[in-house]
């Protein structure tokens, strides 16, 4: 097991023993948590106050009311949000989330992360995020279609293939993106597949997009293990979340020889110290309403136990803020690959840093999705579509490049990979802001 192995890589020593402090203040707001990390990175890197101030303030925030006729004949008004954090490096890019806890603060935070994520991934994009406060599981397909089209029409002047390009996120998928394109096309009287990404294949979607975020998690895991002089075949792993990111990540990590000992979703958490048969789990989920409940490929454990399980690698790929201060004290994994956005609180970060746990941060680890979204947009603009092998090869090369930049910045500034990732992004955004000048 990894814990008993000596890590020989000298760079790891630098990173884990003499790091600059990344401690941040306590906060309630998710956006404040992003800004707290931005401030830490800005200080360590030496970013000018002017650029920091620009990045502390999202460029555009829109809130819309969406009246939708429900199946029972009653009208319901939903709240929709879109925040464009930055367009310094290109049109803003970011998903649309359908969930009951969607709010202004969350969308703002996620939009800023997208600015940094796109910059880390070397994409010519800025950052945005959107969402609708709703419970998609309790709505019919017809209601969801009407809601998605109402949201698109309300934001038809914000979205655009060269201005602001959405994508799926929690609670949305290619289906919603197809509806969005349809509504946008009607408003703007044309055919604009590049107005969004994550579309179904055949309707302008890219091969490889569906698995891309999980694939990026796999590539980032292998790159991190290499830095630690560890072989994938000697490593165990737990994956929280078995949706788009978690299920593809578990499958691809398993294919690399990593033993997946724990998987979990909102219905069940499964532990098998001999390794879970991921193919069987995927088949089970497919045939049982997309949930793990009832899967018999291991013992059922409590949800929180997955995060502190006795494994080498932990992949949170479900919710934000799950690795709290309390959980961080009990984490046994020595490598965390953040498939989800914001799974680790800033307070937990400090504890993990003290424990010398390497955290490959969300803005790097889950950047595979937006990278292939970019490829989808490039294919839409060119009207020429690539085979899946080509998409995957370009994706892997891009992820490895991003990983190296983040790693090197972490080493150069004697800080964690998270702050190294922010510095990687800040260098690019700073260049863009300074080169463009201001009013």
**Beta carbon of residue 240, minimum distance to ligand NAD (angstroms, whole number):** 5
Cβ nearer to ligand NAD, comparing 270 with 423: 270
State yes or no: residue 374 binds ligand NAD (CB under 6 A): no
Residue that the structure tokens 């800023």 belong to: 112
Cβ nearer to ligand NAD, comparing 92 with 213: 213
CB 86 within 8 A of CB 92: yes
State yes or no: residue 54 binds ligand NAD (CB under 6 A): no
Among 131, 136, 264, 420, binds ligand NAD (CB under 6 A): 264
Give the binding range for ligand NAD (CB under 6 A) out of 7-15, 129-137, 242-250, 344-352. 242-250
**Reduced to 3 states, what is the DSSP secondary structure of residue 138?**
helix
Question: Parallel, antiparallel, or unpaired for β 96-99 and 92-93?
Answer: unpaired
Cβ nearer to ligand NAD, comparing 366 with 415: 366
State yes or no: residue 33 binds ligand NAD (CB under 6 A): no
Among 107, 218, 230, 340, binds ligand NAD (CB under 6 A): 340
**Beta carbon of residue 395, minimum distance to ligand NAD (angstroms, whole number):** 12
Among 58, 369, 410, 420, binds ligand NAD (CB under 6 A): 369
**Beta carbon of residue 230, minimum distance to ligand NAD (angstroms, whole number):** 25
Among 14, 319, 350, 378, binds ligand NAD (CB under 6 A): 319
**Going edge to edge, which strands form the sheet with 313-316?**
299-300, 269-271, 259-264, 236-240, 313-316, 335-337, 358-360
Among 107, 245, 311, 335, binds ligand NAD (CB under 6 A): 245
Helix (H) or strand (E) holding 223: helix 209-227
Residue nearest to ligand NAD (CB): 243
State yes or no: residue 240 binds ligand NAD (CB under 6 A): yes
CB 265 within 8 A of CB 318: yes
Residue 389 neighbours by CB distance under 10 Å: 10
State yes or no: residue 415 binds ligand NAD (CB under 6 A): no
Distance CA 132, CA 97 (A): 6
Site for ligand NAD in 184-213 (CB under 6 A): 213
CB 385 within 8 A of CB 372: no
Site for ligand NAD in 76-95 (CB under 6 A): none
Work out the angle between the directed axes of helices 417-436 and 388-412 (0-180°, nearest 10): 100
Listed in sequence order, the residues at least 6 apart from 189 whose beta carbon sits closer than 8 Å to its beta carbon are none
Our measurement of the distance from residue 180's CA atom to the centroid of its chain's CA atoms, rounded to an integer in Å, reads 21
State yes or no: residue 303 binds ligand NAD (CB under 6 A): yes
| Residues known to be catalytic | 129
Cβ nearer to ligand NAD, comparing 19 with 247: 247
Cβ nearer to ligand NAD, comparing 101 with 354: 101
Distance CA 94, CA 164 (A): 8
Site for ligand NAD in 167-186 (CB under 6 A): 169-170
Q: What angle do CA 205, 208, 214 make, to 5 degrees?
A: 125
Among 236, 308, 344, 366, binds ligand NAD (CB under 6 A): 366
How many chain residues interact with ligand NAD (CB under 6 A)? Answer: 22
**Beta carbon of residue 84, minimum distance to ligand NAD (angstroms, whole number):** 18
Cβ nearer to ligand NAD, comparing 9 with 101: 101
Cβ nearer to ligand NAD, comparing 80 with 367: 367
Residue that the structure tokens 């990278």 belong to: 371
DSSP string for residues in 65-131: EEEEE-TTS-EEEEEEEEEEEE-TTSSEE--EEEETT--HHHHHHHHHHHHHHHHHTT-S-EEEEEE
Distance CA 439, CA 434 (A): 12
Cβ nearer to ligand NAD, comparing 58 with 94: 94
CB 405 within 8 A of CB 120: yes
Facing residues of 237 across strands?
260, 313
Contact residues for ligand NAD (CB under 6 A)? Answer: 169-170, 213, 240-246, 264-266, 303, 317-319, 339-341, 366, 369
């Amino acid at each position: 097991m990894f814990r008993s192995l000596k890590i020989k890589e000298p760079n790891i020593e630098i990173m884990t023993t003499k790091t600059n402090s990344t401690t941040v203040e306590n906060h309630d707001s998710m956006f404040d948590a992003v800004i707290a990390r931005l401030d830490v990175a800005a200080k360590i890197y030496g970013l000018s106050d002017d650029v920091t101030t620009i990045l502390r303030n999202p460029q555009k925030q829109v809130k819309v009311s969406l009246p939708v006729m429900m199946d029972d004949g009653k009208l319901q008004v939903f709240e929709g949000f879109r925040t464009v954090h930055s367009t310094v490096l290109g049109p803003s890019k970011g998903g649309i989330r359908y969930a009951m806890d969607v709010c202004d603060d969350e969308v703002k935070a996620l939009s800023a992360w997208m600015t940094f994520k796109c910059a880390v991934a070397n994409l010519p994009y800025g950052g945005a995020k959107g969402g609708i406060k709703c419970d998609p599981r309790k709505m019919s397909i017809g209601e969801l279609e009407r809601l998605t089209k109402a949201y698109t029409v309300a934001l038809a002047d914000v979205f655009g293939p060269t201005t602001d390009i959405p994508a799926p996120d929690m609670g949305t998928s290619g289906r919603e993106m197809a509806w969005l394109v349809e509504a946008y096309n009607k408003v703007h009287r044309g055919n604009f597949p590049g107005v969004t990404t994550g579309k179904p294949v055949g309707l302008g979607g890219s091969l490889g997009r569906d698995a891309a975020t999980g694939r990026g998690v796999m590539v980032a895991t292998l790159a991190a293990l290499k830095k630690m002089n560890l072989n994938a075949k000697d490593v165990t792993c737990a994956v929280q979340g078995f949706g788009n990111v978690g299920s593809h990540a578990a499958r691809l990590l398993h294919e690399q020889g990593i033993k997946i000992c724990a998987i979990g979703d909102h219905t069940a958490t499964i532990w098998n110290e001999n390794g879970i048969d991921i193919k069987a789990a995927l088949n089970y989920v497919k045939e049982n309403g997309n949930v793990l409940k009832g899967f018999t490929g291991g013992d059922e454990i409590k949800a929180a136990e997955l995060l502190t399980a006795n494994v080498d690698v932990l992949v949170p790929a479900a919710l934000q803020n799950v690795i709290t201060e309390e959980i961080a004290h009990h984490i046994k994994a020595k490598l965390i690959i953040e498939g989800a956005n914001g799974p680790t609180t800033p307070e937990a970060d400090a504890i993990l840093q003290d424990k010398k746990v390497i955290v490959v941060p969300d803005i790097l680890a889950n950047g595979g999705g937006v990278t292939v979204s970019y490829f989808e947009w490039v294919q839409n603009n060119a009207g020429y579509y690539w085979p899946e092998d080509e998409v995957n090869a370009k994706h892997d090369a891009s992820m490895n490049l991003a990983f190296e930049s983040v790693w090197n910045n972490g080493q150069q500034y004697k800080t964690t990979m998270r702050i190294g990732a922010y510095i990687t992004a800040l260098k690019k955004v700073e260049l863009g802001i300074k080169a463009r000048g201001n009013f």
